[in-house]
Amino acid sequence: MDDFKVTPWDVEGVVDYAKLIEQFGTSPLTDELIEKTAQLTKSELPIFFRRKFFFSHRDYDKVLADYEAGRGFFLYTGRGPSGPMHIGHIIPFYATKWLQENFDVNLYVQITDDEKFLFKEKLSFDDTKRWAYDNILDIIAVGFDPDKTFIFQNSEFTKIYEMAIPIAKKINYSMARAVFGFTDQSKIGMIFYPAIQAAPTFFEKKRCLIPAAIDQDPYWRLQRDFAESLGYYKTAAIHSKFVPGLTSLSGKMSASKPETAVYLTDDPEEAGKKIWKFALTGGRATAKEQREKGGEPEKCVVFKWFEIFFEPDDEKLMERYRACKSGELLCGQCKRELIERVQKFLKEHQERRKRAEREIEKFKYTGEL
Ligand code: SF4
Tell me: the pLDDT tens digits for 261-272?
Answer: 999 999 999 999
Q: Give the model's pLDDT for residue 16.
A: 86
Using CA atoms, how far apart are residues 60 and 30, in angstroms rounded to an integer? 10
What are the distances in angstroms from CA 247 to CA 157, 215, 337, 351? Answer: 39, 20, 18, 28
Q: ipTM for the complex?
A: 0.99
What are the distances in angstroms from CA 138 to CA 31, 98, 133, 239? Answer: 32, 16, 9, 21
Residue pair 105/71 in contact (Cβ under 8 Å)? The answer is no
Instruction: List, for residues 165-197, the tens digit of each pLDDT value.
Output: 999 999 999 988 888 888 888 899 989 989 999
**Domains, the chain, ordered by start:** 5-246 (3.40.50.620), 258-352 (1.10.240.10)
Q: Give the model's pLDDT for residue 12.
A: 72
Whole-prediction pTM value?
0.94
Instruction: List, for residues 204-224, the tens digit of each pLDDT value.
Output: 999 999 999 988 888 888 899
How far, in Å, from the CA of 6 to the mean position of ligand 1? Answer: 28
| CA geometry: angle 44, 45, 50, nearest 5 deg | 140
Which residue of 290, 325, 329, 336 sits with most ligand 1 atoms within 8 Å of its CB, as the best mutation to test the pocket? 329
Share of the chain above pLDDT 90, in %: 81
Instruction: List, for residues 122-159, the tens digit of each pLDDT value.
Output: 999 999 999 999 999 999 999 999 999 999 999 999 99
Q: Give the model's pLDDT for residue 259.
A: 81
Q: Whose CA is nearest to atom 5 of ligand 1?
A: 331
How far, in Å, from the CA of 280 to the mean position of ligand 1? Answer: 9
How far, in Å, from the CA of 297 to the mean position of ligand 1? Answer: 5
How far, in Å, from the CA of 318 to the mean position of ligand 1? Answer: 12
Q: Whose CA is nearest to atom 4 of ligand 1?
A: 324
DSSP SS3 for 146: coil
Pick the atom of ligand 1 nearest to 303's CA.
7
In this predicted structure, the answer to whether residue 257 has a pLDDT above a threshold of 60 is yes
Average pLDDT over residues 221-232: 94
Pick the atom of ligand 1 nearest to 282's CA.
6
Pick the atom of ligand 1 nearest to 329's CA.
5
Rg, the chain, Cα only: 21
Average pLDDT, the chain: 93
What is the band of 112 on the pLDDT scale with cuts at 50, 70, 90?
very high
Q: Give the model's pLDDT for residue 335.
A: 98
Instruction: List, for residues 274-302, the tens digit of each pLDDT value.
Output: 999 999 999 999 999 999 999 999 999 99
Pick the atom of ligand 1 nearest to 331's CA.
3
Pocket of ligand 1 (CB under 6 A): 281-283, 295-297, 300, 302-303, 324, 329, 331, 334-335
Q: Give the model's pLDDT for residue 366.
A: 79
In this predicted structure, the answer to whether residue 9 has a pLDDT above a threshold of 80 is no
Residue pair 39/29 in contact (Cβ under 8 Å)? The answer is no
